[in-house]
């Protein structure tokens, strides 16, 4: 009887300990999730501040360019024109390279296919003693 009551008490304490551990685990998970959300909100606010700072910098640069002398504006326009020319040349060369590369790939593919077709014809000659495609051509012509 005493042993049964001790086992019963031990069982109740074990269940109570498990419940306390589970509750503690859930509380930790909830706090972790809440902190993760707060961290994400802080990151978003940080990004917003960075974007606003960049906007202000761009506006300041626009205002500063209004106050440039004609000579300074001319130099900047000259540099922008040079950049445009270089960009066009760069784009042309990139397009030329892509087209030439594509042409090489297609030529290489055709060469491989011709080589394989030659091998197939040689195998057909070995197996059949003649080129079946020529017999077919004769039938089509005649």
- pLDDT reading at 66 higher than 80: no
Contact 106, 98 (CB under 8 A): no
> Sign of torsion, CA 39 45 49 52?
positive
- Between 32-36, 100-104, 136-140, the lowest mean confidence (pLDDT) is in 136-140
Mean pLDDT of 119-135: 80
Cα 56 to Cα 42, 47, 53, 66: the distances in Å are: 21, 14, 5, 15
Mean pLDDT of 45-72: 85
Give me the helix-helix angle, 132-141 and 70-128, nearest 10°: 90
Q: What is the pLDDT of residues 16-25, one digit of tens each?
A: 999 999 999 9
pLDDT of residue 67: 75
**Residue 130 per-residue DSSP state:** S
Contact 125, 131 (CB under 8 A): yes
């Amino acid at each position: 009887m005493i042993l049964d009551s001790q086992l019963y008490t031990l069982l109740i304490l074990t269940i109570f300990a498990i419940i306390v551990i589970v509750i503690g685990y859930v509380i930790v998970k909830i706090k972790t999730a809440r902190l993760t959300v707060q961290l994400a909100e802080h990151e978003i606010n940080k990004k917003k501040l960075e974007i606003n700072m960049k906007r202000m910098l761009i506006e300041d640069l626009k205002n500063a360019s209004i106050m440039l002398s004609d000579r300074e504006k001319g130099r900047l326009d000259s540099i922008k024109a040079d950049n445009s020319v270089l960009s066009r040349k760069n784009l042309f060369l990139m397009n030329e390279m892509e087209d030439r590369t594509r042409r090489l790939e297609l030529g290489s593919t055709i060469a491989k296919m011709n080589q394989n077709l030659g091998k197939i014809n040689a195998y057909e000659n070995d197996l059949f003693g003649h080129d079946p495609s020529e017999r077919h051509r004769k039938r089509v012509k005649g």
